[in-house]
Amino acid sequence: MTQTAPALAGPPAMWEDPRIVEDVVLYDMARHQASVLSALLLERARATAGDYGRDHWEARRRLVRRQAEALDVDDRAGLIAQHQAWACEIRALAGPA
């Protein structure tokens, strides 16, 4: 089972308050989610028999890499949104715990 960073839970205002969670921590959490998702996508690509399916997973993995490279440590809302989107995709790909 793959380990993931904790989902951004709790009252929404908690994640908006930089005194509680600094931007750089949110950035690191989002980058970690990108790494976890990338590993899951690589597993899917390797497990897929056909070229079409493998190309799909590899294209998704390239997109995640580009999104991770584009993360802006000064865009708090963007970091939170991207982290949550990747966390949802990880849960969907990994299945029930």
4-28 pLDDT, tens digit each? 455 555 555 566 666 678 888 889 9
Q: Check residue 13 and give its pLDDT.
A: 54
Given a cut of 80, is residue 96 above it in pLDDT? no
Question: What sections of the chain are H helices per DSSP?
Answer: 12-16, 23-47, 51-69, 76-94
Q: Check residue 21 and give its pLDDT.
A: 81
Q: Check residue 78 and give its pLDDT.
A: 93
Look at the alpha carbons of 87, 90, 94, 96 in this order and tell me if their dihedral is positive or negative: positive
Given a cut of 70, is residue 48 above it in pLDDT? yes
Look at the alpha carbons of 66, 33, 82, 45 in this order and tell me if their dihedral is positive or negative: positive
Length, in residues, of the chain: 97
